[in-house]
């Protein structure tokens, strides 16, 4: 495995080859591919992320698998909230916004109930609260 190989690349390739369905670690989860621009580099990056449908929006979780810092994609989105996400076979233009406390609590509780890993991430990440970001489709 070369230095340039990103473990996400395999997931991204599988997602695109199978209309948004992947196996392995993400099996059974609803997944999207988030495009985001590096704050410092301006380089476009793509991250596969679990999402929850909330009305027309897609809620994503800055869990970083429970690490103490927010993931880089989260910092990039806060700096550049207008972006795209690949959902199933579609590429959707979205505007990212961080969920407020009450909105976040309900969305996160639902995610943790469906996927116990998210409950573990929250415990591991403490005292950091895992942000929930809503991707609102833009016409």
Beta-carbon-side half-sphere exposure of residue 10 (alpha carbons within 13 Å)? 8
For the record, the structure tokens of 56 come out as 């027309």
Mind listing the pLDDT tens digit for each residue in 70-111?
999 999 999 999 999 999 999 999 999 999 999 999 999 999
Q: Kindly list the domain boundaries of the chain, sorted by start residue.
A: 7-137
Mind listing the pLDDT tens digit for each residue in 4-46?
567 789 899 999 998 888 888 777 889 999 999 999 999 999 9
Report which secondary-structure segment, H or E, holds 112.
Answer: helix 101-114
pTM of the model as a whole: 0.90
What number does CATH give the domain 7-137?
A: 2.30.110.10
- Asked if 30 and 135 count as a contact pair (C-beta separation under 8 A), the reply is no
The Cα–Cα gap between 101 and 107 comes to 10
Mind listing the pLDDT tens digit for each residue in 47-74?
999 999 999 999 999 999 999 999 999 9
The Cα–Cα gap between 11 and 86 comes to 13
């Amino acid at each position: 495995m070369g230095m340039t190989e990103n473990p996400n690349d395999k997931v991204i390739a599988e997602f695109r080859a199978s209309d948004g369905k992947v196996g392995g670690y993400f099996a059974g989860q609803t997944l999207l591919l988030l495009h985001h621009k590096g704050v410092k580099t301006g380089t476009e990056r793509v991250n596969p992320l679990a999402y929850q449908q909330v009305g027309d929006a897609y809620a994503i979780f800055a869990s970083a698998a429970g690490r103490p810092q927010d993931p880089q994609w989260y910092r990039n989105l806060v700096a550049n909230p207008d972006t795209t996400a690949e959902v199933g076979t579609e590429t959707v233009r979205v505007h990212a916004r961080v969920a407020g406390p009450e909105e976040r609590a309900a969305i996160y509780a639902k995610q943790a109930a469906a996927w116990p890993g998210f409950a573990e991430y929250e415990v591991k990440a403490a005292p950091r609260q895992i942000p929930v970001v809503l991707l609102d489709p833009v016409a």
